[in-house]
């Protein structure tokens, strides 16, 4: 079963089992409740659940799960991730990618096309998403996932093309 983390449960809200969530990316906001999810510390230790209600409040997303209908039960979920099966992820528009699709892709320079590293992970920073890239030298760098730094993603060949001028600043 291929699971993708879409949020982390941050805290219990109120007395009725409402849980405050911090989303990883935009997937959570695209879901329509009720929806089958998995909750756990990691993808190997999860329990199946139903997200019965999902709301966007001024403070962020919040949800009620079928396994927590009061504050005490909701507090037990704090710190756990919410996962969705990969095949149930909402479809994306052209040019959009789920973060896990980018992991392991080769990173090449725009002009010369030489391999400079591999995408190690994706990072959700407060201002933007970013790629954590392990360079051929073994060092890790963070590159913002925006049009100035990432020129294009070639999903078929599993290559991320990065602007030379941006990379030169980091090296």
93 assigned to some structural domain: no
pLDDT beyond 70 at 104 = yes
Rounded mean pLDDT of the chain?
87
pTM: 0.68
Distance between CA atoms of 91 and 141, rounded to whole angstroms?
30
- Domain co-membership, 55 together with 19: yes
Domain-embedded: residue 8: yes
Interval 40-49: pLDDT, tens: 988 888 999 9
Residues 77 and 108 in one domain: no
Quick one: 64 and 118 in the same domain?
no
Full domain range(s) for residue 163: 99-170
Residue 145 lies in a domain: yes
Name the domain boundary from 40, 65, 87.
87
pLDDT tens-digit readout, 108-164: 988 887 898 999 988 777 777 888 999 988 989 888 888 888 888 888 889 999 988
Number of domains in the chain: 2
pLDDT given at position 95: 67
Q: With contact defined as beta carbons under 8 Å apart, do 165 and 153 qualify?
A: no
């Amino acid at each position: 079963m291929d699971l993708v983390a879409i949020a982390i449960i941050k805290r219990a809200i109120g007395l009725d089992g409402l849980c405050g969530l911090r989303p990883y990316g935009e997937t959570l906001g695209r879901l329509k409740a009720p929806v089958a999810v998995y909750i756990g510390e990691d993808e190997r230790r999860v329990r199946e659940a139903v997200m019965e209600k999902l709301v966007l409040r001024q403070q962020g997303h919040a949800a009620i799960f079928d396994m927590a209908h009061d504050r005490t039960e909701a507090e037990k979920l704090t710190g756990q991730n919410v996962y969705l099966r990969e095949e149930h992820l909402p479809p994306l528009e052209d040019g959009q990618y789920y973060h896990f699709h980018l992991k392991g892709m080769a990173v090449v320079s725009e002009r010369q096309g030489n391999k400079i590293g591999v995408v190690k992970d994706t990072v959700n920073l407060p201002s933007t998403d970013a790629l954590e890239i392990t360079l051929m030298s073994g060092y890790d760098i963070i590159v913002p996932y925006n049009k100035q730094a990432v020129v294009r993603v070639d999903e078929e060949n599993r290559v991320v093309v990065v602007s030379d001028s941006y990379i030169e600043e980091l090296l």
